[in-house]
A and B are shown apart, each in its own frame.
Chain A
Amino acid sequence: MTSDEDVEPSHDSQPAEQAEVFGPIDAGALREIRDLVVNQEPLVEEASLDDPLNPQTLSVDLSDGVGAASTARIDIRWSLAGNYAAHYTDTQGRDFRFDCHPKPDAPTRHFHPPPDAPSRPVEPSCITVREAPLVTRAVLQRWRYAYTNGTFEGLNDAENPP
């Protein structure tokens, strides 16, 4: 055993919403999202945790990508506080992210637009649901929209169905 003060000295200032930080990743939530994604999206080739013992990221490999991209990947993080990041990247080098976490001068729920998903500026995210199974479905739905239409136009628009 270590000389742990690993046992936290009583969360000094932790109100209901964890301020400022993303917070530790929720391994259980990542497994729940993994199972849901495999169940919901037929193009999933593999969905795996980077390290089963110390998972930081769930990677979802898709057997096709938007438009000219031949494959794509969505990397998902989910924290104990319910913060998340869902990052799409494809073989054409295009990226976008649906995020929810505190970010200075930006809405908590925000969208990093394609093709580069720059750190800023960001847009408010069209995804407003909070629970992991709902956010997962919404992210898949937005990916489906772009995939089906072969374009990123309107990706961050809650009213555009696939």
Chain B
Amino acid sequence: MMSEETTLPNRVRPDGGAEQRDINDVVEEEWVEDTTPFERVYGIIRRTYDPTSAAQIADRARVSPTTARKHLRTLMDSGEVTTAQDGQTTLYRRSETGIVTEHAQSLLAERTPEEIASGIAELKAQIQDWRTEYDVDSPEELARELDIEDTDSDQGALLREWQTTRRNLALAQATLAIAEATRTGHLTGTNTDDDGNSDSSIVV
């Protein structure tokens, strides 16, 4: 099915030029144009959960190793990134603090603490249902029992959903703790109420 009209490119591909270029190169160029080196290093390390060298981060962020190291140190100082030592090499990964902070910020923008609290109860119930239904304690045990090979299968989908739900439960609980600390003002010493225990604090 050929179409007769060759419509002009739009802003998904702003880069003039009629020659045919590999889209992988095109999107990489666009990304580098649209972002600063810091944004790219931060963007990459935010999704790096396995300890990774600065050289590898630099490669993925399309910056020099020196630039990567500089920004990674800044991010380490602010708690966004944590390090481990492998001989002479420093390995970097996203910190738990960073993961929780990012998640809490988005979630609290979208949901109230009350909604999060009731959501937590639902996630726990869901996990309990799976445990009962499949008679296993964890998604890993399920994977072993079912010998799941194909992630496209229904069983693969269940495994993914369970593992995801477990992670999102932990994140929701951490978010709620931050919300509670914000509400009381105890962390900043700006609490206005006198610490009453008749308050509406949410215990999960």
**What residues on A are CB-neighbors of B110 within 8 Å?**
52
**What residues on B are CB-neighbors of A52 within 8 Å?**
107, 110-111
Which A107-162 residues sit within 8 Å CB-CB of chain B?
A: 119, 126-134, 137-138, 140-142, 144, 148-153, 158-162
**What residues on A are CB-neighbors of B37 within 8 Å?**
none
Smallest beta-carbon distance B105→chain A, Å: 10
CA distance A92 to B190 in the complex (A): 58
CA distance A5 to B35 in the complex (A): 42
CB-nearest residue of chain B to A133: B31
Interface string of B120-163 (1 = CB under 8 A from A): 10011001000000000110100100001111100010011101
Assuming the contacts A52-B110, A54-B119, asked whether A29 and B47 have C-beta atoms less than 8 A apart, the reply is yes
B10 close to A5 (CB less than 8 A): no
Smallest beta-carbon distance B203→chain A, Å: 10
Any A CB within 8 A of the CB of B114: no
B50 close to A141 (CB less than 8 A): no
CA distance A14 to B154 in the complex (A): 23
Choice from B10, B22, B160, B168 contacting A144 with Cβ under 8 Å: B10
Choice from A2, A53, A130 contacting B107 with Cβ under 8 Å: A53
**What residues on B are CB-neighbors of A25 within 8 Å?**
160, 164, 167
Q: For chain B, what secondary structure do more than half of its interface residues adopt (helix, strand, loop), or is it mixed?
A: helix
B49 close to A144 (CB less than 8 A): no
Assuming the contacts A2-B124, A20-B149, asked whether A151 and B50 have C-beta atoms less than 8 A apart, the reply is no
CA distance A160 to B22 in the complex (A): 8
Assuming the contacts A21-B159, A42-B11, A134-B28, asked whether A53 and B143 have C-beta atoms less than 8 A apart, the reply is no
Assuming the contacts A6-B166, A133-B43, asked whether A161 and B9 have C-beta atoms less than 8 A apart, the reply is yes
B26 close to A153 (CB less than 8 A): no
CA distance A20 to B9 in the complex (A): 39
Choice from B3, B152, B172 contacting A103 with Cβ under 8 Å: B152
CA distance A24 to B169 in the complex (A): 12
Choice from A16, A54, A119 contacting B50 with Cβ under 8 Å: A16
Choice from B26, B60, B106, B163 contacting A141 with Cβ under 8 Å: B26
Any A CB within 8 A of the CB of B44: yes
B60 close to A22 (CB less than 8 A): no
B27 close to A27 (CB less than 8 A): no
Assuming the contacts A56-B164, A104-B150, A153-B2, asked whether A132 and B47 have C-beta atoms less than 8 A apart, the reply is yes
B168 close to A162 (CB less than 8 A): no
A-side interface residues toward B, CB under 8 Å?
A: 2, 5-6, 8, 16, 20-29, 31-32, 40-42, 52-56, 79-83, 101-104, 119, 126-134, 137-138, 140-142, 144, 148-153, 158-162
B-side interface residues toward A, CB under 8 Å?
A: 1-3, 6-7, 9-13, 20-24, 26-28, 30-31, 35, 43-44, 46-47, 49-50, 60, 99, 102-103, 106-107, 110-111, 115-116, 119-120, 123-124, 127, 137-138, 140, 143, 148-152, 156, 159-161, 163-172
Task: List 20 additional A-B contacts (Cβ < 8 Å) besides A20-B149, A137-B27.
Answer: A6-B127, A8-B140, A21-B159, A21-B163, A24-B166, A27-B106, A27-B167, A28-B103, A28-B106, A31-B106, A32-B43, A53-B107, A53-B120, A54-B172, A80-B49, A127-B23, A134-B27, A134-B31, A141-B13, A151-B2
